[in-house]
Structure formats: C-alpha cells, structure tokens
Amino acid sequence: MNDLPNIMLAALPAFTVLMLAEGIYAWRAGRGDYRAPDTAANIVLGLGSMVIGVLSAGAMLLFLSWLYTHRVWTLPVDAWWVWALCFFADDLSYYWFHRISHEVRWFWASHSVHHSSEQYNFSVAVRQTWTGVITGSFLFWFWMPLVGFHPKMVLFMQSVSLIYQFWIHTQSIGRMPSWFEAVFNTPSHHRVHHGSDFDYLDANYAGTLIIWDRLFGSYIPETFKPKYGLTSSIGTDNPIRIAFYEWRNIARDLRKSRGFSTMLNILFQPPGWSADGSSMTTRQARAAARRKDTGA
C-alpha cells in the first residue's frame, strides 16, 4: 500500500487560522472564550502530544502490522466500501475508547488533560495528553487489522476523526440543522461532553457520529450553557502540571491505600471511587440523588 499523506500536519495551518479567527471574533463580541495563559498551555500540550505521536508512530505501525499478519480476512485497500467500513469501524472504536477513558481511572488519568480547561474554544481541541501511549489507548483499535483493515488505513482514519473533532470545540457555533444533529457530532453535543455540570457528566462520547451515543444510551442534549472543566478545578496553567495532574492524584491515593484489591480499584474503578465513600463516581452520585428524590 502506498504511503498515505500526513493529513494532521497538513491541517495545522488551518487549525492556526481558525483559532486566530475565533479569538478575534470572540474578542470583538466581548466574550471571554479565550484566556492567554490557558491558550498557551493548550498549544504546548498539543505540540508535546504531536512530538510524542511522531516518535511512537513507528512502534504503533509495527504493532498493527504484526496484528495484520494474523488477519482473518484481507480487505482490498482500493475498494470504496472498505474505506467506508473502515470509517465506521474507527468511529465505533473511538466511541468505546472515549467512553472507557471516562469510566476507568487508569485511562482517565491521560484523558482528563483534555477536559481540564475551564475555557471552551478551538485551542482546547489541541489540549491533548502526553501519556496516552503509556496507558494503552491504541489497544482499542487492535481488532481492526485482525479483521483485515490495513494498518495504514487505520492510522489514516484516526487522523480523519481527530481533524473532524477540531471544529466541534467552540461556543461560536450554535445548533446545526436537525438532521445533522441527529447523525453527526456537533459543537452543541460536544459542549455537553465538556460540561462539568452534574446533569452533563459522562455523556456524548462520539467522535464523528453521534449515533453511537444514541444507540448505547449515553446521549444527553444541550439544554443550558455548560460550565467547562473538571468537577474540581486543577488551578494551574502550567502544561507539565496539567499533563501529570491526575497521575499525581493516583499516586497519592495509592500511597494511602491498604491492600492490593484497593489499589486495583483505585486504578480501574471510575474516577471518584473511594474505599471509604468519601467521594463517589458519577453513577454512585446519581443513584444517591435518585434515592434522595424518592425518599428511599
């Protein structure tokens, strides 16, 4: 298979222009969508993530290629329907990667970086983790080469998904036409996902297609303006502290833990889990709220 173009690098000038245009638009409208230290942190985190991605790309390609040698079928790379299937397969893989990144603290430690900004604008799209490779995020796509998708197709489609998701990180775009909102991920859907409001937590995990959230019961519509960021502010614009904030929290909790089973729960239960009940997961908090409402 011929080498596919690096569309992420090709998209960088467009990302830069769109961030500048949105920043000027928000400034002229008197909106505080951008804050200089936050934006600078986003850019540094994005550049760091890109460098790590370039350095690890060879290893990822080798791993996927090794899996491809054990494929069940061989899907023709020059057939349009294979590319269509690859798009849906990648988008479904992204949905479950994204959902589990919110439901398992080990993965959340990396993904929380993206949610830690209390702003919401195009620059937040590039606020990415430096530790995703360490947590094993790539494992959510391992099945694709096994069923016959060429590894380079898989990596290319991941880039397509990330480029699509750039434009949904904005408050400058309202709702799209109803048919579009019903099928695709949009700024409205993704604003909910970035909201730290109790009613919005753990919803709208879509990459490109919102149909997965509707299908798997994780869809919540935007009904009020979200408050952005984590449920507890990290209180820093230092990109290094941001990158390792949740890892430090995990290390602290592990030091305090007693017993191997508690350590495993700290790592693999949802964020908010605690052995003594001093903090709760989103699911536990919602169950407690329902009991309070019903008087149970």
- Are 229 and 82 in a shared domain? yes
- Are 135 and 206 in a shared domain? yes
Within 8 A by CB and 6+ apart from 138, the residues are: 60, 63, 132
**Can you read off the two tokens belonging to residue 178?**
């109803």
Domain final residue pick, 207, 222, 237: 237
The answer to whether the CB of 205 falls within 8 A of the CB of 218 is yes
Mean pLDDT of 37-58: 95
**Can you read off the two tokens belonging to residue 30?**
């008197």
**Can you read off the two tokens belonging to residue 194?**
């970035």
Q: What is the pTM of this model?
A: 0.95
- Are 125 and 226 in a shared domain? yes
Secondary structure letter of residue 202 according to DSSP: S
Q: What is the pLDDT of residues 264-285, one digit of tens each?
A: 999 999 999 998 888 889 999 8
pLDDT band at residue 9 using 50, 70 and 90 as cut-offs: confident
Q: What is the pLDDT of residues 145-199, one digit of tens each?
A: 999 999 999 999 999 999 999 999 999 999 999 999 999 999 999 999 999 999 9
- Are 190 and 262 in a shared domain? no
CA 211 to CA 182: how far, in whole Å? Answer: 7
Q: For residue 88, which phi and psi values (nearest 5 degrees)?
A: -65, -40
- Are 186 and 55 in a shared domain? yes
- Are 188 and 223 in a shared domain? yes
Mean pLDDT of 191-217: 98
pLDDT band at residue 5 using 50, 70 and 90 as cut-offs: confident
The radius of gyration computed from the CA coordinates of the chain, to the nearest angstrom, equals 20
**154 in any annotated domain:** yes
**Nearest-CA neighbor of 126 among 217, 230, 239?**
239
How many Cα atoms occupy the beta-carbon half-sphere of 22 within 13 Å? 24
- Are 109 and 177 in a shared domain? yes
Q: What is the pLDDT of residues 66-117, one digit of tens each?
A: 999 999 999 999 999 999 999 999 999 999 999 999 999 999 999 999 999 9
The answer to whether the CB of 104 falls within 8 A of the CB of 112 is no
Q: For residue 39, which phi and psi values (nearest 5 degrees)?
A: -65, -40
**Can you read off the two tokens belonging to residue 85?**
């299937």
pLDDT band at residue 296 using 50, 70 and 90 as cut-offs: low
Mean pLDDT of the chain: 95
- Are 90 and 50 in a shared domain? yes
